[in-house]
Amino acid sequence: METMAAGEAAVMDEKSAGEALRKKTFNRNKWFFSVSGIGRDMSYALIDSFLLFYIQFGVSLTLAQFTTLSLIIGVGGRVWDAVNDPLMGAIIEGSHFKSGKFRPWILFGAILCGLVIITMFNIQSIPGWRFVVFMTVMYLLWESTFTMNDIGYWAMLPSLSSVKEERNSITTLTVLFAGVGAIIAQGIIPQITVGDMRAGYRLVSIIIGVAFIGCQMLLYFTVKEPPRRKVEQSENISLKKMWKTIVRNDQILWMTLSMLFYNIGSTMLVALAANLLYMEIGYNGTLYFYVVVAYGVTMVAVNALYPWLAGKLGRKHLQNLSILAATIGYLAIAAMGWIAVFPFNIALLCAFCILVSAGQSLFYMTCIINMTNCVEYNDYKYGERNEAVVSTMRPFMAKFAAAMHTLIVTLVLTVSGTFLLSQSISTLETQRDFFDRQDTAAQTYYITQIQSYLPEYEGLSSGTQEYDAAAAKVEALIAADSVMSTYQIDAKYVPALKEAMIMEGDDEATSTELGRLGTFDTASMVSSSTYSIKIDDLASGAESAANLSFRDQCTLTMRVWVRMAMTILPIILLLLSLYTQRKKFFIDEDFYDQMMTEIDNRKEEESSLA
């Protein structure tokens, strides 16, 4: 009897020591895994929130070229994802590297994706349809390489712990640091790029590409993967089994649909915020920065409070309140500026963005935990975790939603006429980049030639036959000039250059405003000075060329289209997301505990048999 008692005590001591080691490993994994998400989400925000913006305002394209590229990104990319994401999940599930199941794919994907991002924004002197082909290739490469990392990353999350409190903790922290990464990207990108877009995106892509690779290297060398169960150690996933795993897990399918509605709706505000600000207030990167800070800081704060709020209210009640808060915020933004007593200004916009962000962030956190719990549901129902395959649905849904919001944004910009008007800014941005890189002699010639084109447009309104005829004449003059033809000038937008400000000085903060390009006397230029073009806010307080060409030319139709797409449409989609979960998703806290009890009993049986 004493021998038996001693043996039981030894077993208990061994279990206690094992549990202590497991908790220590988990706590280490939790922080390093979560922090590594900063660079990941910086890179995703660059593509998801700013690629279309870069194409719209930083590249001179025709409406047909812009629409074609948007459709390729929005539709062609999703067809590729339909094959690529589940296939990558199956490949990862069947991986048996010494360094782990997930980590090799996370690191390899990050290195390749970082290099693709840098290349994507640093090759810029490709005009028209050749740019469409180039960006198509780069976008598909980005999707393929990011998928390697993304599926490995999110599949690794549920493998780190199945304990409910730990699962909630690491999921909260992961989403929190992912939000930090997105805020950093969305905060610095407009600051660096607006007014000097092409040079700005060259720099930003290098910073973010390096940050992405660095953060994922941190994960690779610090996060330890838990050992696989014996049944998983030699497991291979065929395409048939992969498909069967996804289709029979009804809960992950319903959550995927719900999250699809959510992701499309929740991204519309950020996707169109810059257009709204430039229409209503002016072309200024600092204004967008204020919105991002208000939105992002709120997101981080409520994510940090999520465990406490979920404990007090429960996930379902918290979801109802979060959707209500977001809806009120959206309605307020939709109503701003139409009457004098409720003006459109940056302070009010930030206040209502805080309300939207708080609601959406809390709802998103509950959804991510619900999706992660579908791994245990798969284990509970069928005895197999298959994290990589089940977790495939989250990145697939996220990228499909990104495509849908790209299509919606494209529709809004093209149908309303906003895109064609924004090409005035694109012309200004493109020509600033070309102009600033030339010597004084080339700059003098450039100004003289632009001034010679401007009389052709005198007294003509854009969109008329007379204006188009004048643009065709100028286009022929540019094509016949061996120097000016290298600047990729769209003749339809030459008048926008008239208001660009010629600056003298090496430092933008201390440079001097010499005069508008359209009336500037080039005889005053000397080779010993440095000259540049400024198109955004001027220190003198005079109106910028960008505002004169875009904000002051916007129509009521443009404003209504943009406002409705970023407020009313999100409300509808968020309500659909909530409705789907209410009707079809049943893995609440009690059901999760029931599943884990059953799964733990199976593990005990496996251990005793072994």
- In the structure encoding, which two tokens stand for residue 554, read together? 């916007």
HEC profile of 80-131: HHHHHHHHHHHHHHCCCECCECCHHHHHHHHHHHHHHHHHHHHCCCCCHHHH
- In the structure encoding, which two tokens stand for residue 288, read together? 């967008």
Lowest mean pLDDT among 55-64, 241-250, 489-498: 241-250
d(CA 520, CA 505): 16
Is position 231 within any domain? no
Q: Give the model's pLDDT for residue 234.
A: 44
- Cβ contact 524:514 at 8 Å: yes
d(CA 473, CA 170): 63
Residues 388 and 449 both lie in one domain = no
What CATH number is attached to the domain comprising 321? 1.20.1250.20
Buried b (16+ CB within 10 A) or exposed e, 19-51: eeeeeebbeebbebbbbbbbbbbbbbbbbbbbb
- In the structure encoding, which two tokens stand for residue 398, read together? 């996220």
C-alpha distances in Å from residue 324, one per residue of 247, 330, 355, 366: 32, 10, 10, 15
**Highest mean pLDDT range out of 57-71, 79-93, 166-180, 444-458?**
444-458
pLDDT greater than 70 at residue 486 = yes
pLDDT greater than 50 at residue 1 = yes
Is position 542 within any domain? no
Query: What percent of the chain is modeled with pLDDT above 70?
Result: 92
d(CA 571, CA 331): 8
d(CA 603, CA 610): 10
Residues 148 and 282 both lie in one domain = yes
Q: What's phi and psi for 384, nearest 5 deg? A: -135, 135
Is position 199 within any domain? yes
Residues 318 and 264 both lie in one domain = yes
d(CA 83, CA 61): 30
**For residue 305, what are the contacts with CB-CB under 8 A and spacing of at least 6?**
none
d(CA 503, CA 507): 10
Q: Give the model's pLDDT for residue 231.
A: 45
Is position 21 within any domain? no
Q: Give the model's pLDDT for residue 314.
A: 79
Q: Which of 178, 107, 101, 97 is nearest to 148 (CA)?
A: 107
Q: Give the model's pLDDT for residue 598.
A: 85
Structure confidence by residue, pLDDT tens digits, 492-518: 999 999 999 999 988 777 889 999 999
In this structure, the number of other CB atoms found within 10 A of the CB of residue 346 comes to 17
Residues 104 and 251 both lie in one domain = yes
Q: Give the model's pLDDT for residue 442.
A: 94
In this structure, the number of other CB atoms found within 10 A of the CB of residue 600 comes to 11
Structure confidence by residue, pLDDT tens digits, 182-200: 889 988 898 888 888 888 9
Q: Give the model's pLDDT for residue 6.
A: 59
Structure confidence by residue, pLDDT tens digits, 296-311: 889 888 888 888 888 8
Is position 100 within any domain? yes
- Cβ contact 288:537 at 8 Å: no
Residues 325 and 408 both lie in one domain = yes
- Cβ contact 282:547 at 8 Å: yes
Per the prediction, the chain carries an average pLDDT of: 86
Query: What percent of the chain is modeled with pLDDT above 90?
Result: 47
User: For the residues 151-166, what does the mean pLDDT come to?
Assistant: 80
Buried b (16+ CB within 10 A) or exposed e, 160-188: bbbeeebbbbbbbbbbbbbbbbbbbbbbb
Higher pLDDT, 22 or 152: 152
- Cβ contact 567:330 at 8 Å: yes
Q: Give the model's pLDDT for residue 126.
A: 87
Residues 62 and 187 both lie in one domain = yes
Report pTM.
Answer: 0.79
Structure confidence by residue, pLDDT tens digits, 414-460: 999 999 999 999 999 999 999 988 999 999 999 999 999 999 999 89
- In the structure encoding, which two tokens stand for residue 171, read together? 């999921």
**For residue 248, what are the contacts with CB-CB under 8 A and spacing of at least 6?**
381, 382
Is position 289 within any domain? yes
Is position 2 within any domain? no
Q: Give the model's pLDDT for residue 102.
A: 85
pLDDT greater than 70 at residue 400 = yes
Would you tell me the crossing angle of helices 315-335 and 556-565 to the nearest 10 degrees? 170
Q: Give the model's pLDDT for residue 15.
A: 66
Residues 318 and 429 both lie in one domain = no
Residues 580 and 441 both lie in one domain = no
Residues 294 and 195 both lie in one domain = yes
For residue 324, give the amino acid letter. L
Q: How many domains does the chain have?
A: 2
**For residue 365, what are the contacts with CB-CB under 8 A and spacing of at least 6?**
171, 172, 175, 303, 306, 310
Is position 521 within any domain? yes
- Cβ contact 86:395 at 8 Å: no
DSSP states of 226-274 as a string? PPPPGGGTT----HHHHHHHHHH-HHHHHHHHHHHHHHHHHHHHHHHHH
User: For the residues 104-108, what does the mean pLDDT come to?
Assistant: 92
Q: Give the model's pLDDT for residue 125.
A: 81
Residues 120 and 62 both lie in one domain = yes
Structure confidence by residue, pLDDT tens digits, 17-36: 767 877 888 888 889 999 99
Q: Give the model's pLDDT for residue 60.
A: 86
Residues 264 and 361 both lie in one domain = yes
Helix (H, G, I), strand (E, B) or coil at 205: helix
d(CA 567, CA 559): 12
Helix (H, G, I), strand (E, B) or coil at 512: strand
Structure confidence by residue, pLDDT tens digits, 519-569: 999 999 998 899 999 999 998 989 999 999 999 999 999 999 999 999 999
> How far does the chain reach from its first CA to its final CA, in angstroms?
25
Q: What's phi and psi for 526, nearest 5 deg? A: -125, 145
User: For the residues 107-117, what does the mean pLDDT come to?
Assistant: 95
Q: What's phi and psi for 342, nearest 5 deg? A: -130, 75
Q: Which of 263, 257, 232 is nearest to 388 (CA)?
A: 232
d(CA 208, CA 117): 8
Q: Give the model's pLDDT for residue 233.
A: 47
The band of 326, judged by pLDDT with boundaries at 50, 70 and 90, is very high
* Host H or E run for residue 534: strand 531-534
Question: Do the bridges between strand 531-534 and strand 512-516 make them parallel or antiparallel, or are there none, so unpaired?
Answer: unpaired
Can you give the residue range of the structural domain that contains 435? 423-535
Q: Give the model's pLDDT for residue 555.
A: 93
What single-letter DSSP state applies at residue 73?
I
The band of 344, judged by pLDDT with boundaries at 50, 70 and 90, is very high
Higher pLDDT, 237 or 289: 289
Q: Give the model's pLDDT for residue 552.
A: 93
**For residue 99, what are the contacts with CB-CB under 8 A and spacing of at least 6?**
220
Residues 61 and 171 both lie in one domain = yes
